[in-house]
């Protein structure tokens, strides 16, 4: 199967996200926020009231009692739609319980991801009740005032003052009652509470997408691949219960919606984070693969890093972002959290306030660094971050540096490499499926990739990614696209334009040596020696298809103009045919049967 580019479709999620990120407002909470530094000490300060009998049986019983202190903790993310909707009620509860034996506090999971992971947080907002440092129970169900206060009373025996003790309210007129009903918010249910696939329509889709944390399958009932995926999709919904909303849209019933969402085949899977910001899932359709991808996407985007953990973290991850900042830079952390959302958890972002964790030149501003290829002491890229750093600039930097210098190109990584927003040139090497030759070639690829990275940039060149591909599994595709028919062969691909380069400036074939690849890359930057991945017929078909799509888009945008053109065209055609018929009749009578003007 030919893997077609989808550059224009793939730009849509990032453009949409930039617009939404600029409008997003973080949730504010009046509760004190806890951090990894004070969480354990805070929740450990709790005691149950305990009664003890006197040593003298005849004496009175005495009570040794210390007031119960319970901690009700909200784990939230500032950019979670459910958290923003819940914030007003949470702030009311904070005020109502102030000064009582029940203390309410919050943990920002966008900043303290490790703490939330340690506390078993699986979705936002998650409400946990602690006593003596131990988790009593997690609140589940509809988050309304009545249910939450009953939950707290059940575990603490503390009851808020009765409403009847408050001053009498003014009589409610019918108009006031109507207004109260119309403005009262609906109770907010948990994400995917029943573990079932949600069927979306054109009417319900916008609301679901705006809330985010939504994984959608666009399908057609007649599609064989869709039928095969259906039972797996049902299992996925069950396994992601209370974590992610798993939904589906029938594109036969809702064609307009699927067209707006850019659906070009079936099934297509999209993950929606906030509003209309979406990312297509193009990996394996197996249950475990999809579950792992989605769970990674909803993990806290930023985690704190201990001073001794950097080396081990970098060794475990091909790419890591590290944000080095001063304590109290909450606004900068929030901005970074917003920018990181479209990354869907990859690469991982860590923060530290330690200035000695890396040997970097002194700087008065926070620094964001990319650490690649399991090299922890030498950043591959550095961004000096400040309040003036725009969201677009930060987002661009995060996407430009998200890929390691070298990786395997497969069905799971193809889209993020070949159709990446920053349009990299891809140095592709065919390798055997297994064996010592494969290991040797991969070692050479990694070495050349590091050498290219360390040579530095000239300032005008495009990003470069080195990849290897299974020459056995993808033999037909490699042959059709680039003419590669054996392991060890190298080509430089510009997949967005369906071009490739397989020769050095001297005309020799590119080989797996830095002395050969580097000059070939310099030529590729200037577009010299490009070859087409398609033959003439394929290029013509793609050109005509693009023109038809453009025409369709123009017609959709200019409906009135199109209608006028059609009407004028029909009128013109009618008049033209009528005139031709009239001319034919005159010629017939004047020349063929009219006998030169005679009547006999």
Average pLDDT over residues 21-35: 50
> Residues with Cβ < 8 Å from 396, sequence gap 6 or more?
422
Q: And the tokens for 306? A: 């201990």
Q: Are strands 348-352 and 367-372 parallel, antiparallel or unpaired?
A: unpaired
> Residues with Cβ < 8 Å from 293, sequence gap 6 or more?
281, 283
200 or 43, which is more confident: 200
| pLDDT at res. 540 | 77
CA nearest neighbour of 257 among 322, 343, 183, 199: 199
Instruction: Evaluate the CA torsion angle 440, 445, 448, 449 in order and state its sign.
Output: negative
pLDDT score of 348 more than 60? yes
Torsion of CA 363, 368, 372, 377, to 10 degrees: 30
Q: pLDDT tens for residues 558-573?
A: 888 888 999 999 999 9
pLDDT score of 15 more than 50? no
Do the beta carbons of residue 355 and residue 324 sit within 8 Å?
yes
pLDDT score of 188 more than 50? no
Strand partners of residue 349 = 302, 321
Q: Please, what's the b/e burial string for 440-464 (b: 16 or more CB within 10 A of its CB; e: otherwise)?
A: ebeebbbebbbebbeeeeeeeeeeb
| pLDDT at res. 404 | 92
Q: And the tokens for 568? A: 């004028």
Mean pLDDT comparison of 177-191, 510-524, 560-574, highest-scoring range: 510-524
Average pLDDT over residues 363-375: 86
Q: pLDDT tens for residues 199-214?
A: 999 999 988 888 888 9
The total number of residues written for the chain in this structure: 600
DSSP state of 138: E
Number of H helices, E strands in the chain: 19, 23
> Residues with Cβ < 8 Å from 550, sequence gap 6 or more?
none
| pLDDT at res. 509 | 94
Q: pLDDT tens for residues 519-541?
A: 999 999 998 999 998 777 776 77
Rounded CA separation 585/96 (Å): 95
pLDDT score of 112 more than 90? no
**pTM of the full predicted structure?**
0.55
Instruction: Find the range with the poorest average confidence among 31-35, 356-360, 473-477, 531-535.
Output: 31-35
Contacts of the segment 219-225: beta carbons below 8 A, 24+ positions apart: 219/248, 219/249, 219/250, 219/251, 219/266, 219/267, 220/250, 220/251, 220/252, 220/266, 221/250, 221/252, 222/252, 223/266, 223/267, 225/266, 225/267
Mean pLDDT comparison of 151-155, 392-396, 447-451, highest-scoring range: 447-451
Q: pLDDT tens for residues 306-318?
A: 756 788 888 888 9
Query: How large a percentage of the chain has pLDDT more than 70?
Result: 77
Strand partners of residue 134 = 131
Do the beta carbons of residue 430 and residue 488 sit within 8 Å?
yes
Q: Is the peptide bond before 527 cis (omega within 30 degrees of 0)?
A: no
Please report where in the chains the tokens 């009373």 appear, as a residue: 153
Rounded CA separation 287/470 (Å): 24
Do the beta carbons of residue 326 and residue 366 sit within 8 Å?
yes
Rounded CA separation 39/59 (Å): 43
Instruction: Place 372 in a pLDDT band, splitting at 50, 70 and 90.
Output: very high
Q: And the tokens for 517? A: 């690849």
Instruction: Place 218 in a pLDDT band, splitting at 50, 70 and 90.
Output: very high
Rounded CA separation 341/110 (Å): 10
Find the angle CA(157)-CA(163)-CA(167) to the nearest 5 degrees.
Answer: 140
> Which domains occur in the chain, in start order?
33-50+63-154 (3.40.30.10), 198-298 (3.40.30.10), 302-402 (3.40.30.10), 404-556 (3.40.30.10)
Question: HEC profile for 516-549?
Answer: HHHHHHHHHHCCCCCEECCCHHHHHHHHHHHHHH
pLDDT score of 416 more than 50? yes
- The helix (H) or strand (E) run that includes residue 92 is helix 81-97
Strand partners of residue 127 = 74, 139
């Amino acid at each position: 199967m030919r893997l077609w580019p989808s550059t224009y479709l793939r730009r849509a999620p990032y453009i949409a996200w930039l617009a939404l990120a600029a409008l997003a407002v973080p949730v504010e909470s009046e509760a004190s926020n806890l951090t990894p530094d004070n969480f354990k000490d805070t929740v450990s300060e709790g005691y149950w009231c305990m009664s003890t009998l006197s040593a003298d049986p005849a004496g009175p019983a005495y009570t040794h009692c210390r007031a119960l202190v319970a901690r009700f903790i909200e784990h939230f993310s500032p950019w979670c739609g459910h958290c923003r909707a819940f914030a007003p009620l949470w702030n009311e509860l904070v005020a109502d319980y102030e000064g009582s034996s029940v203390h309410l506090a919050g943990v920002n999971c966008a900043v303290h991801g490790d703490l939330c992971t340690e506390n078993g947080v699986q979705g936002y907002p998650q409400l946990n009740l602690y006593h003596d440092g131990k988790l009593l129970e997690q609140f589940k169900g509809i988050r309304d005032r009545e249910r939450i206060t009953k939950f707290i009373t059940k575990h603490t025996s503390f009851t808020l003052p009765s409403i009847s003790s408050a001053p009498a309210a003014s009589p409610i007129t019918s108009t006031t009652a109507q207004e109260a009903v119309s403005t009262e918010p609906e109770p907010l249910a948990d994400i995917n509470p029943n573990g079932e696939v949600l069927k979306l329509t054109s009417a319900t889709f916008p609301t679901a997408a705006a809330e985010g944390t939504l994984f959608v399958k666009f399908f057609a009932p007649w599609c064989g691949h869709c039928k095969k995926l259906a039972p797996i999709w049902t299992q996925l919904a069950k396994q992601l219960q209370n974590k992610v909303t798993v939904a589906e849209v029938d594109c036969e019933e809702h064609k307009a919606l699927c067209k707006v969402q850019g659906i070009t085949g079936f099934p297509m899977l999209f993950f929606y984070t906030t509003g209309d910001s979406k990312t297509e899932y193009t990996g394996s359709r197996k249950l475990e693969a999809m579950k792992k991808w989605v769970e990674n996407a909803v993990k806290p985007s930023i985690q704190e890093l201990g001073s001794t953990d950097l080396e081990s973290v970098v060794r475990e991850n091909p790419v890591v972002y590290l944000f080095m900042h001063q304590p109290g830079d909450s606004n900068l952390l929030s901005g970074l959290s917003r920018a990181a959302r479209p990354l869907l958890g990859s690469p991982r972002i860590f923060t530290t306030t330690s200035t000695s964790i890396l040997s970097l030149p002194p700087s008065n501003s926070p620094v964001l660094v990319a650490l690649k290829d399991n090299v922890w002491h030498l950043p591959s890229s550095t961004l000096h971050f400040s309040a003036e750093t725009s969201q677009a600039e930060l987002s661009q930097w995060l996407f430009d540096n998200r890929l390691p210098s070298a990786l395997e190109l497969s069905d799971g990584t193809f889209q993020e490499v070949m159709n990446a927003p920053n349009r990299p040139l891809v140095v592709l090497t065919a390798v055997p499926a297994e064996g010592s030759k494969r290991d040797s070639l991969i070692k050479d690829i990694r070495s050349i990739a590091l050498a290219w990275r360390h040579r530095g940039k000239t300032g005008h060149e495009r990003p470069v990614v080195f990849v290897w591909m299974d020459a056995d599994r993808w033999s037909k595709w490699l042959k059709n696209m680039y003419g590669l028919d054996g392991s060890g062969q190298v080509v430089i691909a510009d997949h967005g334009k369906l071009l490739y380069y397989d020769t050095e400036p001297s005309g020799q074939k590119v080989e797996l040596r830095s002395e050969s690849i580097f000059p070939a890359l310099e030529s590729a930057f200037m577009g010299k020696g490009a070859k087409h991945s398609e033959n003439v017929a394929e290029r013509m078909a793609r050109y005509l298809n693009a023109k038809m799509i453009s025409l369709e888009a123009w017609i959709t945008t200019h409906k009135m103009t199109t209608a006028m053109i059609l009407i004028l065209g029909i009128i013109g055609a009618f008049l033209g045919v009528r005139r031709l018929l009239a001319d034919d009749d005159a010629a017939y009578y004047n020349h063929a049967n009219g006998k030169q003007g005679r009547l006999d």
